[in-house]
């Protein structure tokens, strides 16, 4: 059975997206990508620091990965559009993760500005994946504007708190006809599996892998967890009940 993820008509054989921030050693990134099986990899765009010898992160990302720049740093739609266009001019293709955040404490995405940026960038030919605060109505508007998916957070960025937004995101998964990719806050492979069991199309993980004691092993664990969660979803779990129901037949007792 072909269960590949399809985004904008493009088939992707992994439902785990990998972020490349916060790695203590960027040279671990290629092995993390390989062990996790991730095919979509996010990067950010920043001013070159002329006083430091910072590497170009893309040299650590295999050429057969889909590079998806985020618009982190954008505080409004105009800034997101500018960053997206710079990313495309830098040669990464048409994919973009819109990230519009003006709240520095919780890093919550601004759905209104994200929608505005989505409308402009879709018309500009981008494959747009908006990072958003979970909200079914906002997601529908982004879908209607042409977003290729929506990316609601599981918990605030970098918190590793897990799938705190499960109730709303599960509703979004049930009601939307575009992929729902849980992005941010997922701290453990079991939480990534939970996202997939709830019906998410994919999960994006960065902090939990990059800051693990063994990022490569953690990347492998997340890859396995996403596949396990997806298989569990497809298998159709049994019903949850309030009272016990024995697993063994209630006949033929030895009395």
Partner 1 sequence: MLIRLNGEETECRDGSTLLDILNEKDIDPETIVAEVDEVILKPDEFTTCELHDGSVVEILRFVGGG
Q: Which is nearer to partner 1, 45 or 171 (CB)?
A: 45
User: How many CB atoms neighbour CB 98 within 10 A?
Assistant: 31
Structure tokens at 194: 């939970």
Distance separating alpha carbons of residues 107 and 149, to the nearest angstrom: 20
Q: Report in angstroms how near the CB of residue 194 gets to partner 1 at its nearest.
A: 19
Q: Which is nearer to partner 1, 63 or 255 (CB)?
A: 63
| CB 26, min distance to partner 1, A | 6
At residue 33's C-alpha, the angle toward residues 70 and 125, to 5°, is 35
Instruction: Give the residue from 171, 149, 196, 122 showing the smallest Cα distance to 40.
Output: 149
Q: Which of 193, 189, 253, 185 is nearest to 228 (CA)?
A: 193
Given a contact cutoff of 8 angstroms between Cβ atoms, the answer to whether 190 and 209 are in contact is no
Q: Which of 22, 97, 161, 164 is catalytic?
A: 97
Q: Which is nearer to partner 1, 146 or 158 (CB)?
A: 158
Give the Cα separation of 15 and 206 in Å (integer). Answer: 14
Task: Write the CA distances from 99 to 134, 148, 168, 229, 245, integer angstroms.
Answer: 14, 15, 20, 26, 47
Residues that bind partner 1 (CB under 8 A): 19-23, 26, 29, 42-48, 50, 54, 56-58, 67, 69-70, 72, 82, 85-87, 89-92, 157, 183-184, 204, 206-207, 210
**Residue listed under structure tokens 């057969």:** 64
Is the separation of the CB atoms in 127 and 7 below 8 Å? Answer: yes
| Smallest gap from residue 84 Cβ to partner 1 (A) | 11
Q: Could you tell me if 209 and 215 are in contact, meaning their C-beta atoms sit under 8 angstroms apart?
A: yes
Taking the least distance from each CB to partner 1, the nearer of 8 and 58 is 58
Active site residue 63: no
Structural element, H or E, at residue 154: none
Residue 238: CB minimum distance to partner 1, A: 35
Q: How far is the CB of 233 from partner 1 (least distance, A)?
A: 24
CB of 70 to partner 1, least distance (A): 5
CA distance 108 to 23: 22
86: β partners: none
**Cβ-based nearer residue to partner 1, 131 or 141:** 131
- Residue 46 or 123 with smaller CB distance to partner 1: 46
Known catalytic residues? 97
């Amino acid at each position: 059975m072909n269960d590949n993820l399809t985004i904008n008509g493009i088939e992707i054989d992994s439902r785990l997206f990998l972020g490349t921030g916060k790695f203590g050693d960027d040279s671990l990134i290629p092995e993390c990508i390989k062990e996790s099986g991730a095919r979509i990899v996010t990067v950010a765009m920043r001013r070159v620091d002329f006083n430091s010898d910072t590497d170009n992160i893309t040299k650590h990302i295999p050429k057969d990965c889909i590079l998806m720049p985020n618009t982190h740093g954008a505080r409004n739609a105009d800034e997101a559009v500018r960053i997206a266009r710079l990313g495309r001019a830098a040669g990464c293709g048409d994919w973009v993760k819109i990230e519009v955040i003006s709240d520095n404490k919780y890093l919550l995405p601004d759905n209104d500005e994200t929608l505005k940026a989505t409308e402009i960038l879709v018309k500009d030919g981008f494959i747009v994946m908006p990072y958003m605060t979970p909200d079914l109505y906002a997601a529908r508007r982004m879908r209607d504007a042409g977003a290729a998916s929506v990316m609601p957070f599981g918990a605030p960025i970098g918190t590793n708190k897990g799938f705190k937004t499960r109730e709303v995101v599960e509703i979004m998964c049930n009601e939307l006809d575009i992929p729902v990719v849980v992005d941010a806050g997922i701290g453990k492979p079991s939480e990534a599996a939970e996202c997939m069991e709830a019906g998410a199309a994919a999960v994006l993980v960065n902090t939990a892998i990059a800051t693990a004691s063994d990022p490569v092993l953690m990347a492998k664990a997340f890859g396995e967890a996403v596949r396990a969660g997806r298989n569990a979803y497809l298998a159709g779990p049994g019903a949850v009940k309030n009272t016990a129901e024995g697993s063994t037949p209630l006949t033929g007792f030895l009395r």
